[in-house]
Amino acid sequence: MKHLISCKQYDNHEQLDGFFSRVEEANKIRYREGIRLPFGHVAKDKIMATLFYEPSTRTRFSFETAMHKLGGNVISSDSAGQFSSHAKGESLEDTIQVVSQYADVIVLRHPEKGAAQRAADVQGSIIINAGDGDGEHPTQALLDLYTIKKRFNKIDGMRVALIGDLAHSRTIHSLVYLLGLYKNVEILLASPKEFSLPEQLISHLFEKRVRFAPWYDLRKMLLEGRPDVIYLTRLQKERIPPAMLINEPEWSKFSFGNDELELVKEDAIIMHPLPRLKELATCVDKDKRAVYLNEQVRCGLEIRIGLLCSFFKDTTL
């Protein structure tokens, strides 16, 4: 795999399971004679460019932290839409060709679906898609799946509830592709009707024979569906025409707080890619089932360390 653009690039779960084992191995803290060793120099003399045309906290910081831990260097534009030559009218293709002369890997976030593929088509550096509009966000899905795998020690047979703006959430789109590679996974889709999963993903679920069902009532879904994983997402306001935003009361039916928490299984986990808005109340944070501010974030760093090791072909992996 030269680039990571879409979760459709994975065609079986063995690839993912193998990758997750290598991620665990790459993140093992090593000691020699009682002294904690750094992660090594996998990325020594390598440069990563984080080229972000949209805001980010976790994705950019965790990629940059991963690169630093691996002994590499980072060049960064966190507001590329405003501060790169894009503002002067430069095309994405030209920018990628130029940045490829400086950096070995480009982590790209862009508001347009398909932008990461366009960047990869330029034939420059390694491209990692860090979110392309309402398309995909493959590294988030890898870390989400890894979080589930670490907690339950399996993915097969899991009941996963995907809640919120299923139409525009790129993290959900990528996660759906990955979940479809496992056996007997059941996906519960909870959203207002007009924010349902796009047709292309529904067809994919049919094709992969994944059991799934839409729910238009969150509490009923929690009570009757008994999911193991509750995965919440925010309304992607920046991707929605203003006319669709007026239905706030309908939207509030899909928010999660203390009352919903009571309906959740004791051993379930509650996930969110963050940032959260009103759909996930802060009172849930202290619950032992909530992993979005701790475990899930740590897994994000681990996955990105593992990914960079794979791209830089670390022989210890």
Where does this chain bind ligand NCD (CB under 6 A)?
58-59, 131, 137, 140, 170-171, 233-234, 273-274
Tokens of 18: 């193998």
Q: Confirm whether 65 is a catalytic residue.
A: no
Smallest gap from residue 47 Cβ to ligand NCD (A) = 22
Q: Confirm whether 204 is a catalytic residue.
A: no
Q: Confirm whether 109 is a catalytic residue.
A: yes
Smallest gap from residue 236 Cβ to ligand NCD (A) = 6
Smallest gap from residue 179 Cβ to ligand NCD (A) = 17
Exactly one of 50, 59, 95, 233 is catalytic; name it.
59
Q: Please, what is the angle between helix 138-152 and helix 13-26, to 10°? A: 80
Closer Cβ to ligand NCD, 110 or 170, answer by number: 170
Exactly one of 46, 86, 110, 137 is catalytic; name it.
137
Residue whose Cβ sits closest to ligand NCD: 273
Whether the Cβ atoms of residue 274 and residue 292 lie closer than 8 Å to each other: yes
Q: Confirm whether 313 is a catalytic residue.
A: no
Exactly one of 28, 32, 36, 88 is catalytic; name it.
88
Smallest gap from residue 157 Cβ to ligand NCD (A) = 27
Closer Cβ to ligand NCD, 131 or 180, answer by number: 131
Smallest gap from residue 257 Cβ to ligand NCD (A) = 19
Q: Confirm whether 59 is a catalytic residue.
A: yes
Q: Which residues are catalytic?
A: 58-59, 88, 109, 137
